[in-house]
Structure 1
């Protein structure tokens, strides 16, 4: 081992961790978790549990006009639009993101997005570090597949979901605005 890669060198790359397995996310995998939240359907493709907490990857299917309310959190969030057009608002600035384009939302920046397409839009969302998927698991309604329609919720059920989202937000480093 050279001096620059000695175990005492803080810049040294640590050894491989064979306890961490290769992760492959395949559409239709019965182990994937699908969640309905605010009219959208999110599929957790790669969880923080699978990445040692480094990041999570979520497939988002967003109906026309769909998207979350304004919020912010202390982790980075990157979106790659796969189909449709999404208008992102970050710190009051609007930007239209089309299929094939990627946008990164800096940690702590107030933001939200809307599908401005005539049809459903689809995005991949990477959150680093992980944790957003755990928040979604606690707040959202499980559905059978990525193609499932979100369940019709009564006003009381919608209010209860909003209350749960607000009550759990701080635990998941999120602030609803």
Structure 2
């Protein structure tokens, strides 16, 4: 252990109080899931972001990996997480940590919505979601229902923008 000094306080940084129902929180639907950006990289000098996620039954991303850490704390419901090919069920109260670069996916197979908090470090995941998603009024606003013709262009946009946000989509 070194005796390095702690850097001086940065008075330009402000306290963040995140209320998911605050009018300042941005909400976005990403292929059926609803994500509310509670704490952004702008709030943390890029160190991390915190996203409140509502995942409907059957929801979840395709298999993917990225070069940042991701941690989920389930508030309500349960999800199946597949990590490096091994599947485990996480229930409300559980926290799941996904190391950077590891292939993973989660899916809601519980029959009811799941609510969880997702922290990504460093930040950037929230910007990806805001760029690819559909803006919503609130975290309880319904996500748009997309037919197959509408889903195609969104999936192509996600594929095109994923590398910009250090993410790789994997074959299912």
Taking structure 1 as the reference length, the TM-score comes to 0.92
Q: Whose radius of gyration is greater, 1 or 2?
A: 1
Match of 1:24 among 10, 14, 17: 17
2:139 is aligned with 1:139: no
Cα displacement (A) at 1:163: 0.8
- CA–CA distance in 2 between the matches of 1:140 and 1:94? 27
Give the equivalent residue in structure 2 for 1:67: 60
CA-based RMSD of the aligned residues comes to 1.1
Cα displacement (A) at 1:159: 0.9
Cα displacement (A) at 1:117: 1.4
2:27 is aligned with 1:34: yes
What SS does structure 1 have at the residue aligned with 2:19?
coil
Greater shift, 113-122 or 149-158, is seen at: 149-158
Greater shift, 49-58 or 145-154, is seen at: 145-154
- CA–CA distance in 1 between the matches of 2:45 and 2:66? 20
Give the equivalent residue in structure 1 for 2:160: 167
Give the total of aligned pairs: 169
Unaligned runs of 5+ in 2: none
Cα displacement (A) at 1:128: 0.2
- CA–CA distance in 1 between the matches of 2:11 and 2:124? 23
Unaligned runs of 5+ in 1: 6-10
What SS does structure 2 have at the residue aligned with 1:13?
coil
Give the equivalent residue in structure 2 for 1:8: none
- CA–CA distance in 2 between the matches of 1:64 and 1:28? 22
